């Protein structure tokens, strides 16, 4: 709705409407249903969520404290709008590449977990996210994408270890 960068020299003030809506987690529990991966509504919400996670990853200057889950996803305007609410932001984000990769992998993990929770019948009683994913009857391509999103942190850790070892070797060879 608005922006004010004049009133206070230390802060930029943003004004916006507080969006109403219903938590998707609550909606799914009340109806006793889950979504199917072949439903147009699921595909639409998954696309919108991907855009939201991309914006948080690349445009936010603050860290997210904790994870974004289905509890943070609100549906409004007869299902055509999704809003992420009640997200806790923390300190300013570090801008180095390794730190950005950690944020990116965390957002991919959160994205996958939200989609799995939308599709899984008994998400609350899972012992392992990999177990529930492997037992889900969903499109194999979607299953592969979700698996890669869930394991993006592993790849970042491997890359960080390789960079660390290269730095050590470079120091030793000097």
Chain-centre distance of CA 158, in angstroms?
21
Residues 6+ apart with CB under 8 A from 41: 35, 79
Q: What is the CATH number of domain 19-173?
A: 1.10.510.10
Query: Which residue, chain included where needed, has tokens 């008994």?
Result: 122
In the predicted structure, residue 1 carries a pLDDT above the cut 60: no
Task: Name the token pair of 15.
Answer: 């004004």
Count each helix (H run) and each strand (E run) in the chain, helices first: 6, 7
Residues 156, 102 contacting (CB under 8 angstroms): yes
- 7-51: pLDDT as tens digits: 666 766 666 666 678 888 888 888 888 899 999 999 999 999 999
Distance separating alpha carbons of residues 93 and 101, to the nearest angstrom: 12
Q: pLDDT, tens digit, for every residue of 41-97?
A: 999 999 999 999 999 988 888 889 999 999 999 998 888 888 899 899 888 888 777
| Gap between the Cα atoms of 84 and 23, Å rounded | 9
pLDDT, tens digit, 9 for 90 and up, residues 111-166: 999 999 999 876 666 668 888 888 899 999 999 999 999 998 888 777 777 776 77
Long-range contacts of 156-165 (CB under 8 A, 24+ apart): 156/98, 156/101, 156/102, 156/104, 156/105, 159/101, 160/98, 160/101, 163/98
Whole-angstrom distance, CA of residue 49 vs CA of residue 72: 11
Residue 172 reports pLDDT greater than 80: no
């Amino acid at each position: 709705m608005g922006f004010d960068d004049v009133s206070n020299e230390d802060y930029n003030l943003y004004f916006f409407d507080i969006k109403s809506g219903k938590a998707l987690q609550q909606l799914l529990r009340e109806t006793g249903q889950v979504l199917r991966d072949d439903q147009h509504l699921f595909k639409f919400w998954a696309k919108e969520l991907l855009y939201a996670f991309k914006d948080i990853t690349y445009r936010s200057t603050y860290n997210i404290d904790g994870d974004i889950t289905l509890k943070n996803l609100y549906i409004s305007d007869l299902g055509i709008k999704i809003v992420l609410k009640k997200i806790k932001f923390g300190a300013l984000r570090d801008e180095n590449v390794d730190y950005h990769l950690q944020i990116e992998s965390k957002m991919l993990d959160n994205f996958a977990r939200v989609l799995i929770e939308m599709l899984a019948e008994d998400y609350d009683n899972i012992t392992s996210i990999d177990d529930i994913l492997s037992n889900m009857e969903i499109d194999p391509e979607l299953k592969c994408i979700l698996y890669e999103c869930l394991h993006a942190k592993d790849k970042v850790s491997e890359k960080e270890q390789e960079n660390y070892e290269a730095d050590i070797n470079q120091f030793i060879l000097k």
